[in-house]
């Protein structure tokens, strides 16, 4: 299975999932639904649904069995984006203005809440497909657990201070909860709907935790190195928002007192000029943070890939595609 075929399959699944989502999320008032569907209409890779579908196939299920779960994780992901963007005061996402910029913070809070509830509604559609109730209920449990974990990860992210040296382990815990947990749940839900064995489920989740952590570290790096067009949002926005990326944590721990002072002054300072932000970016690069982050991402990617080799599946095509997805998630894209 080469990348071209994966891309075609991803498009197919994306279309199926979107059809399901847009048929499920309907109602009034119109403003609430427009705000709720804004990011879903603006694009997105539908990476999590693809993971659900492939995990379902690996566990022996047909791809349609996974669609309610695949839709659920995408809708849940979108809910977290809407609320995160309020918290991070982001102005752009997927190349369009953020929900709270267009409809205001109040409506954005409600749109996020609406999507959160619709994630469950999407998943419950599995009942109509005749999927055994215990599998549906188990999937509801995975979705719930992941949502709690994501909220905890977001809170940890918000609370990580730049006042002292931060342990990279604290960062990994935060990323594990904030980002990797939903990848793991995406896989678990897809596999559960197919009635996967406990052992396969455990392995798939562990793989996705590793891949998710590597994915977030690469995203941190891209945030520092990428240009506006690739990011869909202004450069240095992570620095301006004072986000505790692995780059900032590593660099701050290595920095001289003068550099620490500068970092504290500029990071999270919304009045900082682009020159000042670049200066801090240069400090971070000079202290070797990118090399460190890259090797950290490599180590998690390696764990994911080697554990993937131990998975057995009757559907070898699906397994090959999942390998490609993991490669895509953990690869250097900068």
130 binds a second copy (CB under 8 A): no
Binding range to a second copy, per CB under 8 A, among 60-68, 134-142, 161-169, 181-189? 134-142
Q: At its nearest, how many Å lie between a second copy and the CB of residue 320?
A: 34
Q: Which of 123, 95, 113 is nearest to 39 (CA)?
A: 95
If one asks whether residue 172 binds a second copy (CB under 8 A), the answer comes out as no
Verify binding: residue 106, a second copy, rule CB under 8 A: yes
Between 114 and 192, name the residue whose CB sits nearer to a second copy: 114
Residue among 93, 84, 163 nearest 116 (CA):
84
Residues 119 and 69: beta-carbon distance below 8 Å: no
Q: How far is the CB of 37 from a second copy (least distance, A)?
A: 14
Instruction: Report if residue 14 touches a second copy, rule: CB under 8 A.
Output: no
Instruction: Confirm or reject binding of residue 144 to a second copy (CB under 8 A).
Output: yes
Give me the residues paired with residue 96 across strands: 93
The DSSP line for 246-297 is HHHHHHHHH--HHHHHHHHHHTT-TT--HHHHHHHHHHHHHTTHHHHHHHHH
Tokens 């005749």 -> residue: 130
Q: What count of Cα atoms within 13 Å lies in the side-chain half-sphere of residue 195?
A: 8
| Residue 167 touching a second copy (CB under 8 A) | no
Asked if residue 80 lies in contact with residue 66, where contact means CB atoms within 8 angstroms, the answer is: no
Interface with a second copy in residues 70-99 (CB under 8 A)? 83, 86-87
Q: Which residues bind a second copy (CB under 8 A)?
A: 27-29, 31-32, 83, 86-87, 105-107, 109-110, 112-114, 116-118, 120-121, 124, 127, 133-134, 136-137, 140-141, 143-145, 147-148, 151-152, 154-156, 158-159
């Amino acid at each position: 299975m080469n990348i071209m075929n994966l891309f075609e399959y991803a498009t197919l699944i994306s279309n199926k999932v979107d059809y399901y989502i847009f048929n499920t999320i309907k109602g009034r008032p119109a403003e609430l639904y427009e705000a709720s569907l804004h990011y879903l209409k603006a694009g997105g890779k539908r990476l999590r649904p693809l993971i659900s579908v492939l995990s379902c196939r690996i566990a022996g299920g047909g791809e349609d069995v996974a669609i309610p779960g695949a839709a659920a994780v995408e809708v849940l992901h979108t809910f977290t984006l809407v609320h995160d963007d309020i918290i991070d005061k982001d102005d752009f996402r997927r190349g369009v203005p953020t929900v709270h910029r267009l409809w205001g913070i109040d409506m954005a809070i409600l749109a996020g809440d609406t999507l959160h509830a619709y994630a469950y509604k999407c998943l419950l559609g599995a009942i109509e497909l005749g999927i055994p109730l215990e599998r549906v209920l188990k999937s509801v449990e995975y979705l719930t657990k992941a949502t709690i974990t994501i909220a905890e990860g977001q809170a940890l992210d918000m609370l990580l201070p730049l006042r002292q040296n931060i342990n990279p382990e604290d960062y990994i815990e935060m990323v594990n909860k904030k980002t990797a947990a939903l990848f793991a749940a995406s896989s678990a839900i897809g596999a559960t709907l197919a009635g996967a064995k406990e052992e396969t489920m455990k392995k798939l989740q562990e793989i996705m935790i590793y891949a998710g952590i590597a994915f977030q570290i690469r995203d941190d790096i891209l945030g520092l190195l990428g240009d506006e067009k690739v990011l869909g949002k202004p450069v240095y926005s992570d620095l301006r928002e004072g986000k505790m990326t692995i780059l900032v944590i590593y660099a701050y721990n290595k920095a001289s007192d003068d550099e620490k002072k500068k970092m504290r002054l500029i990071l999270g300072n919304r009045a900082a000029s682009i020159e000042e932000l670049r200066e801090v970016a240069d400090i971070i690069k000079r202290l070797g943070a990118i090399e460190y982050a890259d090797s950290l991402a490599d180590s998690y990617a390696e764990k994911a890939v080697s554990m993937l080799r131990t998975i057995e599946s009757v559907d070898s095509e699906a397994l090959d595609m999942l390998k490609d997805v993991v490669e895509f998630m953990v690869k250097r894209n900068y």
